[in-house]
Amino acid sequence: MIKKLLGIAPKPTEDGAFSPSTFALKMATSSKTDYVKIDYPNANKDSKLKVLMVCTEERNMKMANGNYFSTGNHPVEMLLPMLHLNNAGFDIDIYTPTGQSAKIEMWAFPEKDENVKTIFSKYKIQFENPKNLSDFVKNEMNSNTSYVAVFLPGGHGAMLGLPTNEDLNKLIHWSENKDLLMLSICHGPAALLAANINTNKNEFLYKDYKIAAFPDSVDKQTPIIGYMPGHLPWKFGEKLTELGIEIINKKADKTCHKDRNLLTGASPNAANEFGKLSATELLKKVNKASR
């Protein structure tokens, strides 16, 4: 009752889970983003070159206390980079593990941001009816020449299913062998754990890499304001660190980082800069390859 009066009680959802409290939404979300459109003078003109984005198809995360958190992919962390990639001339194909609809944290959607609303509308049909990652890996992956990057967007939903998905494991290793860029932001790097399926710590693809990601220490604090209805069942940063990755940021800030083909960002606050970095580096790579 006291938590409800203070506005820090997580809100129950129709399916028995919880979304963030009123107070948490005021603290952690905004009706508009800091997106700034960039005109890329060397924008890609080849419509065949695309970005493959893997979204979660799972909604509810069981927390350490047994409560369920209504999650998915974070709209700002997903849509701002998509805006920049589109402006740079790259269309995006949306995938989920089995072709079920992509789950999105709509409680974090910036309702007064016209740019975000426009890009969401453009891809709405794809979010509702994405491509099937399993089918792609089995039937198309090895012969595909159109994808120039893989994008693993953020949101706690990236921790659901993707870190243990064998098709994602194959996609990650394929992308590295093809010298593609790997883009990931906030909790998205949790999905990179899939690269370690059927291998051991010393063979982890991203061992000795440095990344920006949402800090475990901040996740530990969010239940206090009702952002989540309990503590996470596991810490993705801890698992990545154990495999040899170094997370360079301590705060959920605007930090972005490039290490070889891996581009990462720390939080929703980094989404605009991460989008610019992703678009710029992808254009460098594509234009260099075309010379």
Looking from the CA of 132 toward its CB, the CA atoms found within 13 Å total: 8
CA dist list (Å): 216 to 39, 56, 231, 232, 233: 35, 20, 11, 9, 12
CA 114, CA 178: separation in Å to the nearest integer?
Answer: 36
Q: Which of 52, 186, 190, 252 is catalytic?
A: 186
CA 248, CA 226: separation in Å to the nearest integer?
Answer: 27
What dihedral angle (degrees, nearest 10) is formed by the CA atoms of 78, 84, 86, 87? 160
CA 271, CA 286: separation in Å to the nearest integer?
Answer: 22
Q: What does 118-179 look like in DSSP terms, one character per residue?
A: HHHHHHHHHHHS-EEHHHHHHHTGGG--SEEEEEE--SGGGGSSGGG-HHHHHHHHHHHHTT
256 catalytic, yes or no? no
The SS3 call for residue 50 is strand
| Positions marked catalytic | 186
